[in-house]
Structure 1
Amino acid sequence: MNAPNRYELFVLDDGEKPVEVTEDTKIPNAATVKILKQDHTLANMIRAQLLSMPQVLFAGYKVPHPLHPYFLVKIQTDGTITPAAALEQACTKLIGMIASIEAKFKREFQYKDVEPTAAEDPYGTAAAPAWSGDTRSYMDL
């Protein structure tokens, strides 16, 4: 009913900026970053990565309303780095981490394509019971 079309939640309009940085005038070394067409998944990863950086004093996010596809990230640093630079470093580290996870995932699932031999029982039904020597099933107890 009131919900926007699904594609409006992730497709940027012509001329629409995906990221807007607004410096905070009340708090030193702080900024609010508005990231469009994203949700809690990316927001939580960015917040966690920012908090792992020693230069960042505060990082938090909020999604103002569930029908509006954007979130706000508040960042405060210790002054050795700007909030925008901290965000850029955090995103770069996240991209590297995700690439590493993807490589590990692909490597592990290469072994899935290997055909099991006839002697292997994938469900372990031919194996001896855990209480070895006893031929009873667990249902007989």
Structure 2
Amino acid sequence: MNAPNRYELFVLDDGEKALEATEDTKIPNAATFKIVKQDHTLGNMLRAQLLSDPTVLFAGYKVPHPLHPYFLLKVQTDGTIPPATALENACTRLIATISQLESRFKREFSFKDVDATGAGPTINMGVPDDPYGSGGATVWSAQRDYLDF
């Protein structure tokens, strides 16, 4: 009813900028970035990456209203680098982290093709080094569950 069309949540309009930066006049070495057509997913990841930087004193984000597809990201640094540079560094590190995660996922998923037997994992329960002490002699090699791709 009041919700905007789905494509308006991720497609930039003509002349619309994806990022707008505003320097904070009351706080030294601080800026507010308005990131358009994004939501909590990117906001939380950027905030976490910014906080892992030792030059960043504060990083936080907020989504002013759920029907408006943007969030505000506030960054304050210690003055050695400007907030825009800190955000750029965080984006670079985030892209590298996601690329590494993607390559690890593809590598692990390719192991599925290597296991042509289809037997699935073999877990021997009830052996002396079973940390949970279940005591059962069940072997899961013959069964497959929803976690087996």
Q: Common fold, TM-score beyond 0.5?
A: yes
Give the match for residue 93 of structure 1: 93
Taking the aligned partners of 2:55 and 2:92, their CA distance within structure 1 comes to 16
Give the match for residue 122 of structure 1: 120
SS of 1:93's equivalent? helix
The structure whose RCO (Cα within 8 Å, separation 6+) is larger is 1
Q: TM-score, normalised by structure 1?
A: 0.85
Give the match for residue 34 of structure 2: 34
* Structure 1 residue 65 corresponds to structure 2 residue 65: yes
1:11-30 correspondence runs (5 A): 11-30=11-30
Cα deviations by residue, 1:107-141 (Å, 9 ceiling, x for unpaired): 00001123543xx74376xx8763478xxxxxxxx
Q: What is the root-mean-square deviation in Å for CA atoms of aligned residues? A: 2.1
SS of 1:45's equivalent? helix
Structure 2 gaps of 5+ residues are 127-134, 138-149
SS of 1:122's equivalent? coil
SS of 2:46's equivalent? helix
Q: Which protein is bigger by CA-based radius of gyration?
A: 1
Taking the aligned partners of 1:111 and 1:67, their CA distance within structure 2 comes to 42
Q: Tell me the amino acid that sits aligned with residue 74 of structure 2.
A: K
Taking the aligned partners of 2:26 and 2:34, their CA distance within structure 1 comes to 18
Count of residues in correspondence between the two structures? 130
SS of 2:28's equivalent? coil
Give the match for residue 9 of structure 1: 9
**Compared CA separation, residues 128 and 73, structure 1 to 2 (3 A):** closer
Identity %: 71
